[in-house]
């Protein structure tokens, strides 16, 4: 199993804090946004005498509530087409295990969420990465790149939309390109849409569930973690209209008995979160994005595209090695008793040698802290021994 590139620097951050250094955590997608009150109150008001197992597919009441939620985004599903997992992570693992045998392949545009590699390793399958470039803002690679990587072992294409780590928002036209490939080669399209609520600049999110002609091929992955700033609740789910896929996935769900019971109570209540919450949160994230992108692009030799969704950016820096640089920031550098913790972009590529001059930044701190972080980064680059 590969180690997490996001968490592997934690010991160095802990040591920095012991030395009295303030560490700005831009390495992990843990928002400082408050979890909706309606969700927290559901746990506070829990009055059962014991915490019981739920149905292996998740509480029916939660799945019915999710059906209502998806109606608001023009997705028509029923409770039997939803299996609740211990986070979107487990739901994605169930999807991999259900549609692929040992040695099969999934195509993923890179850079991609680092743990996809771990899930694939866990399921005994192989990732076939297709390169998307920072110069294009990490747009979907050309169709030819997909075509030449499809083999008899290829069973699925996986995209994250909006994307982690890049923040890129795939357009309807790009998704229709994927639909045509999926239909031509009879593949599955797995769409990780956990950041669907966070879209900026007047744009709209388009779901793979709305693509015509591939109902049996689409698997949607979703979660409460980011939408309701409830990462520790560990509730996500997979959705598919393919009855055979769902029947198989339920067997994996039964093998782990049930998803977290208290987490499901939080998730069910969270669906009632008012729209004003998302309006406020989206406005906040937009201000944070603008602060980070503008700040980085003012640094000599640095470049950061302007993402249209999620709360991440991948920035290109004038450095020799992002792993060394991110560790150096924690071990050897501080500016006015502050430093920053970033995620080396090498961990978001499956192809060796990519991302060596790139980092992922999660803009999950308030605007003032983000501006301080960018200042620290600017000062660090002035003295980093491996500056290019």
Together in a domain, 25 and 173: no
CA 86 – CA 196 distance, rounded (Å):
19
Say whether 190 sits in a helix, a strand or coil: strand
Domain assignment present for residue 1? The answer is: no
Together in a domain, 260 and 138: yes
Together in a domain, 266 and 289: no
CA 30 – CA 226 distance, rounded (Å):
8
**pLDDT of 289:** 98
From 246, 270, 294, give the residue that closes a domain.
Answer: 270
Together in a domain, 20 and 46: no
Domain with 335, as residue range(s), is 10-34+276-383
Together in a domain, 129 and 202: yes
From 230, 254, 270, give the residue that closes a domain.
Answer: 270
Domain assignment present for residue 177? The answer is: yes
Together in a domain, 162 and 214: yes
Domain assignment present for residue 388? The answer is: no
Together in a domain, 239 and 294: no
Together in a domain, 224 and 311: no
Together in a domain, 18 and 62: no
**pLDDT of 2:** 82
**Into how many domains does the chain fold?**
2
CA 182 – CA 116 distance, rounded (Å):
20
Find the DSSP H helices in the chain. Answer: 10-18, 37-44, 60-71, 87-99, 115-123, 143-149, 172-185, 243-255, 261-270, 275-297, 322-331, 367-383
CA 202 – CA 299 distance, rounded (Å):
28
* Sign of the dihedral defined by the CA atoms of residues 19, 22, 25, 27, in that order: negative
**pLDDT of 4:** 79
Beta bridge partners of 123: none
Please report, for the domain that includes residue 176, its CATH number: 3.40.640.10
Domain assignment present for residue 4? The answer is: no
Please report, for the domain that includes residue 367, its CATH number: 3.90.1150.10
| Successive 10-residue mean pLDDT values, the chain, 388 residues | 82 96 93 94 96 97 98 97 98 98 98 95 97 97 96 98 98 97 98 97 97 98 96 97 98 98 98 96 97 98 98 98 97 98 95 96 96 98 97
Together in a domain, 266 and 372: no
Report the 10 Å Cβ neighbour count for 15.
12
Domain assignment present for residue 372? The answer is: yes
Torsion of CA 109, 113, 119, 121, to 10 degrees: 60
Domain assignment present for residue 175? The answer is: yes
**pLDDT of 128:** 97
Q: What is this structure's pTM? A: 0.96
> Rg for the chain (alpha carbons), in Å?
21
**pLDDT of 173:** 97
Together in a domain, 24 and 42: no
From 219, 248, 270, give the residue that closes a domain.
Answer: 270
Domain assignment present for residue 5? The answer is: no
Together in a domain, 253 and 294: no
């Amino acid at each position: 199993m590969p180690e997490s590139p996001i968490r592997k620097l934690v010991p160095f951050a802990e040591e920095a804090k012991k030395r009295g250094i303030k560490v700005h955590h831009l390495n992990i997608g843990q928002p400082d946004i408050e979890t909706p009150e309606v969700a927290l109150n559901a746990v506070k008001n829990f009055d059962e005498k014991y915490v019981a197992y739920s149905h292996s597919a998740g509480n029916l009441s939660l799945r019915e509530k999710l059906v209502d939620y998806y109606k608001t985004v023009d997705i028509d599903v029923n409770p039997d087409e939803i299996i609740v997992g211990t986070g979107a992570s487990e739901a994605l693992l169930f999807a991999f295990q259900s549609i692929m045998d040992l040695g099969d392949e999934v195509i993923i545009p890179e850079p991609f969420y680092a743990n996809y590699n771990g899930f694939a390793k866990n399921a005994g399958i192989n990732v076939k990465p297709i390169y998307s470039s920072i110069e294009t803002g990490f747009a979907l690679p050309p169709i030819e790149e997909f075509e030449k990587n499809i083999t008899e072992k290829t069973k699925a294409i996986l995209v994250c939309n909006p994307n982690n780590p890049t923040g890129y928002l795939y357009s309807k036209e790009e998704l229709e390109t994927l639909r045509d490939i999926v239909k031509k080669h009879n593949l599955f399209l797995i769409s990780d849409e956990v950041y669907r609520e966070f879209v900026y600049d007047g744009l709209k999110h388009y779901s793979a569930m709305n693509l015509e002609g591939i109902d049996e091929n689409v698997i949607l992955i979703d979660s409460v973690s980011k939408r309701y700033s409830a990462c520790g609740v560990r509730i996500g789910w997979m959705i598919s209209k393919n009855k055979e896929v769902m029947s198989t996935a339920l067997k994996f769900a039964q093998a782990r008995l049930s998803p977290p019971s208290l987490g499901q109570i939080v998730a069910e209540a969270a669906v009632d979160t008012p729209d004003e919450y998302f309006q406020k949160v989206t406005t906040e994230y937009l201000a944070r994005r603008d602060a980070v992108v503008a700040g980085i692009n003012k640094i000599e030799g640095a470049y950061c595209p302007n993402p249209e969704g999620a709360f991440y950016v991948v920035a290109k820096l004038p450095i020799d090695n992002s792993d060394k640089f991110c560790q150096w920031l924690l071990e050897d550098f501080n500016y006015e008793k502050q430093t920053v913790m970033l995620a080396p972009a090498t961990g978001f590529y499956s192809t060796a040698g990519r991302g060596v001059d790139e980092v992922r930044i999660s803009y999950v701190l308030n605007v003032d802290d983000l501006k301080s972080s960018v200042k620290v980064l600017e000062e660090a680059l002035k003295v980093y021994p491996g500056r290019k």
